[in-house]
Structure 1
């Protein structure tokens, strides 16, 4: 009976929001942190916001914002591509802390919010799942140009707190020619402030917030910048402590507001400028997230409620060391960068519903999973000076990662119970530590080597032609070892280890653009760019009734894009439409075998086409209105054949997260008096969309409204806000690849939240 029960409920099933190697159990994912309403922010296709957040006169012009979207310093309006830039001042005025607080301001971006660290961002529908995939994701994440999502699957996606960042650059469309793999759909690049050798600086922020029907949370954040040797040497330190309130009740454990999230962040930067034109910067980041219990809801329990016998915590830690040299040369700038990143995770899951009664009457059954990754990243590039007829950039990069996943299944007293069935000696091999009766260890080594560059010809008639590309080589080795009672039982008493497998690939990615800028009020561009991501092997227990592919090969896409930026009435009205067509080939996706184990496969082609329109209008001094509209049609153009008697996924199926319509509107008015009071309204709508190709889970189709009021006196600002004013219960993510031990899981917007923030800056 136990043999039949285990065989029908394979341990290596994927729970919502998990990250694992192929065939290992992925575990669950939490809860939306509703965004704080923004001070009016423009998020245009080719320009940055036109005004400083909170500045009633719109004094900070878009063309003055410098970005590094093309790996060189340039004005945002000169970028031939879809870039949204939010400056540090704008993020502060937004009250933005995490992805959920600002990504809605970028057209075409969808944040599938679940467990912090396991939540994902997608652009223009380019993804095969709303979960953190077992394969490589389709969005790149960077901190000061250092990758945060390692090659292959990611242990976690750090959602870096935005306190004391210079800006966040949101790049839509493939960025692989300059940023490497896993940027099929786009990239998010945090540019953190580094130590300033020229002046003393300090800042402090304190917040308190409460969730309707939930708990109270608070934040304490501080920054200090000290020039140790003026104009030569400086140090900058940032400390943050953030406790986000819980709002999901676990009926099984009796815990109210069980999904409380504690974040701690520390950054240290040291800048040394020994001579004019030489700058050496060291940056250290440490961020830890601790979620007490994953905040999903379950239909059979009710909204904002779950039922498990034990808590399902999630912990993640990210450490980053980066050393960067910027050296001015007679003909350009040399940039060298070396970085080391380490990430750890612990993910708990309650499997009692799967195994109840399987080992006698023992319960509860826990399925903890740990993950660890170490990554080294090196880059060297040279960029010519601007204001020449031909400008160019050339570089090389190397990225190496080592990862291990350890997934276990245990129940108190397992060895003692098995000893009564098989004897003490056999029980010792089946449950060596007394409680754990199944364990799977997966190892992954991956590397990416590349040469990249681009050149621009600034010709007559205000035309600029750019050609670039990336030559890459990738390799992956993956292995798995299975231990314990489940392994022996599933293989007729014989221990089994799937062993190891390897894949490798190489190729060239082109990028071509044409930009026309006849005046400061008008710019048009056309862009063709290609993206790619790693393939990887499948290392899973074989199924005699199903032929599992040996692995996946790289998938690629071609992006065809045109955009316009048009300013009228001295840029008080800015209109920015973008049209795109994306052909996605040889899609990597994760499918489920008849026995419930997941595997990676290449599954045909898809297309994504649509329009993004951003409009900003400042009709009178102090009043600013902005809207983003996205229309998207992203769907399969081939049938996905699953085999094993399972029905195919038909051509025409919408890609995950690809809502047809998405709207964001903001209106902000600043009164012209000594306290500069500002009131801001924000509305966001996203249509319904699938959660994954292999499921019928639906997310989206909700509205949210935020209100924010602030006033300031000299260097101090006080803000009151209400987020999710209408108390929308919109579904932000959820689902799974296959069966889950606790039934369907879904994540909801955080309920109506009230709060206040005090900001001070030197």
Structure 2
């Protein structure tokens, strides 16, 4: 029987209102690997000092100052004072106080940035300034949403097959650029960029740090722990060095399940991980720097961070019939060369990203919703297993001016990348084959996907200063992209019941496009270092192929969606002594939005409709005294559907004008109180932080079956550390009030009372850590 004769197997993920992603019981198109395009909404939002400032405990209050912040996400080192746009910079000290560092902590302390937290098993979609159209669900085999690019140094991560819990250690800083960054970063930077910058080898000094920690999580019977090492090894003084980072950790689970067919188990969502990074640096001459790095992470997660309280009557109780583990491995490597001529710096970077994932999920309740074929078997159960391999290689070549004092600054570059994806998904129904008299194997469904993506681009930005007050920046990017996709599927149990030998049915297609993106900004330097700026920018997500049977002529491909972004901002500089206050006001027009629809029972991605995001963001820091500082931020965002899709489309999630975009909170705020105190023999540092996220909706409107309003929540975290000689001790508390907040869900409308669940925040966790420097 052909795939087209089995519509129920091809639309069980089409409730999401963005391009469909492969669910763990179905192989379908996933949004990012196909091309999404010209989304002209790049605005380098406002440079926020709030989290990138450091404190000095030896200054008087009249001497306290905010240290200069260097932004590297602009692909050349640039002072924040020369950057017209919005960027939040997390410095090394703040990062060290986050144990472990999570995307939730980064987003919670960045106004205008939030994540749809799905726990450690699945990737968490990233949302900057409200640009998200897909519904809020489990995000099985999904990615980060395809609208926020993530980089580790200069290694781009593939946006749709991402490790669920990528842990990056030994960081120098993290930068979050808010607003589309299309001219410098191309596709997948529709609404912003998150860039992790690692510590590089020191050519002069030997150093080794050993660290260990133990942790206790509420509602868990287990104890977590981690051990690690960071070692810097000069090989030839001033010429070459290596830096080694090793870490191993176990995280306690807190979800119990009394409904497993294998018997009850506790703390099923435990985690085990190993991380390693080796970095090399060689400077054969002063003008030439060669860097190489290799990153490795292997992580196993036992089950979802989700419970089904309405069914189990237990706020931390799950109801699945099978365990749902995920085992992921990530390897990243890069090599770069930088040569500094008298007036120009030349940089060449080549990188490779490899990601593999194997996982299992309970599919019972979803299939039971399709009637007697499954439910007639009293002992029916089903599980789905998937195996995906993803590689991404990229090359970036660029030239940049070196003289920061010159009135004209410029950057030009060329970029090329290739993505390859191979994966398969199977649905198993134990016992059903024998029940129907087909005693071969209980293989209900098999699907596989192969895809090859390429992107070629040239880009550039140029800044000119007019006197001491004005500077103007113009940027552009020309890109070409190509997507080859093939999907195959078969239904062995159905075929054998009908007397046929199972055979794969394959569909393939190709989509190519090109385009040009613009960026323009102007900045006025007022008195006391304060600045006003205006930014226009464009961004996009690439389009792609829908891989339909040859007899279907319409909607075989979909085009890029794009956005236009306008922003006005103010940065206080030294206008107020010991304080900074930054503000921005923006609007983003999102057009030709990629949405999920159905063509002759096949899920497809179409371009339809438009949305608008309007918002304001505030951020700042106050040095209260010699020893105390207060950092804060707040954001209001109104992201709504402006023009719904035409009724001619068979949409999975039809919208109406004025609908609020799913997963986007209107209100968000954070505040943190930090201190440093020097005593005779030791130094103490503290940080108490609160981050609050407003209500989100899971779909466009209440006419959609899986629509819910998830209440907002507030998390309180605390850190106390003490340095005594070569020893550093710390106590960290996350979610100190033990709030059980729901961050996502899988709805009863498709999965029934037992198959639904709520994804919840990790309960209160207390950790004691120690670090010794040798």
How has the CA–CA distance of structure 1 residues 745 and 598 changed in structure 2, closer, same or farther, with 3 Å as cutoff? farther
Match of 2:637 among 625, 628, 632: 632
- Residue in structure 2 matched with residue 39 of structure 1 by the alignment: none
How has the CA–CA distance of structure 1 residues 401 and 486 changed in structure 2, closer, same or farther, with 3 Å as cutoff? farther
Contact kept in structure 2, 1:663 and 1:685, CA below 8 Å = yes
- Residue in structure 1 matched with residue 734 of structure 2 by the alignment: 723
- Residue in structure 2 matched with residue 31 of structure 1 by the alignment: none
- Residue in structure 1 matched with residue 53 of structure 2 by the alignment: 51
- Residue in structure 1 matched with residue 278 of structure 2 by the alignment: 268
Q: Distance in 1 between matches of 2:712 and 2:249?
A: 30
- 2:423 counterpart of 1:405: yes
SS in 1 for 2:183: helix
- 2:392 counterpart of 1:375: yes
The alignment of Structure 1 onto Structure 2 pairs a total of residues equal to 729
Contact kept in structure 1, 2:669 and 2:691, CA below 8 Å = yes
Q: Distance in 2 between matches of 1:562 and 1:183?
A: 20
Match of 2:696 among 689, 694, 701: 689
- 2:215 counterpart of 1:213: no
- Residue in structure 1 matched with residue 22 of structure 2 by the alignment: 20
Contact kept in structure 1, 2:28 and 2:603, CA below 8 Å = no
Match of 2:267 among 257, 260, 267: 257
Q: CA deviation at 1:415?
A: 5.4
Q: CA deviation at 1:189?
A: 0.6
How has the CA–CA distance of structure 1 residues 609 and 144 changed in structure 2, closer, same or farther, with 3 Å as cutoff? same
Q: For each residue in 1:70-125, what CA deviation from the matched residue of structure 2 results, as whole angstroms up to 9, or x when unmatched?
A: 11011123211111111222200233422123221111010111143511211011
How has the CA–CA distance of structure 1 residues 505 and 221 changed in structure 2, closer, same or farther, with 3 Å as cutoff? same
How has the CA–CA distance of structure 1 residues 640 and 315 changed in structure 2, closer, same or farther, with 3 Å as cutoff? farther
TM (normalized to structure 2)?
Answer: 0.87
- 2:446 counterpart of 1:439: yes
- Residue in structure 2 matched with residue 123 of structure 1 by the alignment: 128
- Residue in structure 2 matched with residue 473 of structure 1 by the alignment: 480
Q: CA deviation at 1:229?
A: 1.0
- Residue in structure 1 matched with residue 457 of structure 2 by the alignment: 450
How has the CA–CA distance of structure 1 residues 216 and 712 changed in structure 2, closer, same or farther, with 3 Å as cutoff? same
How has the CA–CA distance of structure 1 residues 491 and 456 changed in structure 2, closer, same or farther, with 3 Å as cutoff? farther
Contact kept in structure 1, 2:108 and 2:693, CA below 8 Å = no
Match of 1:160 among 151, 162, 166: 166
- Residue in structure 2 matched with residue 516 of structure 1 by the alignment: 524
How has the CA–CA distance of structure 1 residues 134 and 715 changed in structure 2, closer, same or farther, with 3 Å as cutoff? closer
SS in 1 for 2:81: helix
Q: Distance in 2 between matches of 1:688 and 1:286?
A: 37
How has the CA–CA distance of structure 1 residues 26 and 499 changed in structure 2, closer, same or farther, with 3 Å as cutoff? closer
Q: For each residue in 1:182-231, what CA deviation from the matched residue of structure 2 results, as whole angstroms up to 9, or x when unmatched?
A: 00111111111222222212223222111111132112121101011111
How has the CA–CA distance of structure 1 residues 280 and 654 changed in structure 2, closer, same or farther, with 3 Å as cutoff? same
Match of 1:228 among 224, 231, 235: 235
- 2:68 counterpart of 1:64: yes
Q: CA deviation at 1:369?
A: 1.0
How has the CA–CA distance of structure 1 residues 737 and 461 changed in structure 2, closer, same or farther, with 3 Å as cutoff? farther
Contact kept in structure 1, 2:668 and 2:693, CA below 8 Å = yes
SS in 2 for 1:367: strand
Q: CA deviation at 1:696?
A: 1.0
Q: Distance in 1 between matches of 2:79 and 2:67?
A: 6
Contact kept in structure 2, 1:50 and 1:62, CA below 8 Å = no
Range with bigger deviation, 87-96 or 154-163: 154-163
Give matches, 1:141-220, under 5 Å.
141-150=150-159, 154-157=160-163, 159-214=165-220, 215-220=222-227
- 2:414 counterpart of 1:396: yes
Q: For each residue in 1:122-167, what CA deviation from the matched residue of structure 2 results, as whole angstroms up to 9, or x when unmatched?
A: 10111123465579611101011211125xxx22246432421111
Contact kept in structure 2, 1:589 and 1:603, CA below 8 Å = yes
Match of 1:667 among 661, 666, 673: 673
Q: Distance in 2 between matches of 1:645 and 1:231?
A: 62
Q: Distance in 2 between matches of 1:271 and 1:20?
A: 40
Q: For each residue in 1:273-303, what CA deviation from the matched residue of structure 2 results, as whole angstroms up to 9, or x when unmatched?
A: 1111101111101112210112222242342
- Structure 1 unaligned residues grouped into runs of 5+: 29-42, 422-426
Range with bigger deviation, 63-72 or 274-283: 63-72
Give matches, 1:477-556, under 5 Å.
477-485=484-492, 488=495, 495=503, 497-519=505-527, 521-539=529-547, 549-556=555-562
How has the CA–CA distance of structure 1 residues 88 and 231 changed in structure 2, closer, same or farther, with 3 Å as cutoff? same
- The root-mean-square deviation of aligned C-alpha atoms, in Å, is 3.3
Contact kept in structure 2, 1:27 and 1:347, CA below 8 Å = no
Contact kept in structure 2, 1:16 and 1:745, CA below 8 Å = no
Q: Distance in 2 between matches of 1:720 and 1:134?
A: 33
Contact kept in structure 1, 2:53 and 2:69, CA below 8 Å = no
Q: Distance in 2 between matches of 1:645 and 1:603?
A: 10
SS in 1 for 2:750: coil
Structure with more contact order per residue of length (Cα contacts < 8 Å, sep ≥ 6): 2
Q: For each residue in 1:399-451, what CA deviation from the matched residue of structure 2 results, as whole angstroms up to 9, or x when unmatched?
A: 11110120101134565555x35xxxxx6xxx5xx343320001111111000
How has the CA–CA distance of structure 1 residues 220 and 134 changed in structure 2, closer, same or farther, with 3 Å as cutoff? closer
Q: CA deviation at 1:712?
A: 1.9
How has the CA–CA distance of structure 1 residues 60 and 619 changed in structure 2, closer, same or farther, with 3 Å as cutoff? closer
- Residue in structure 2 matched with residue 74 of structure 1 by the alignment: 78
- Residue in structure 1 matched with residue 298 of structure 2 by the alignment: 288
Match of 1:237 among 240, 244, 254: 244
- Residue in structure 2 matched with residue 247 of structure 1 by the alignment: 254
Q: Distance in 1 between matches of 2:740 and 2:537?
A: 38
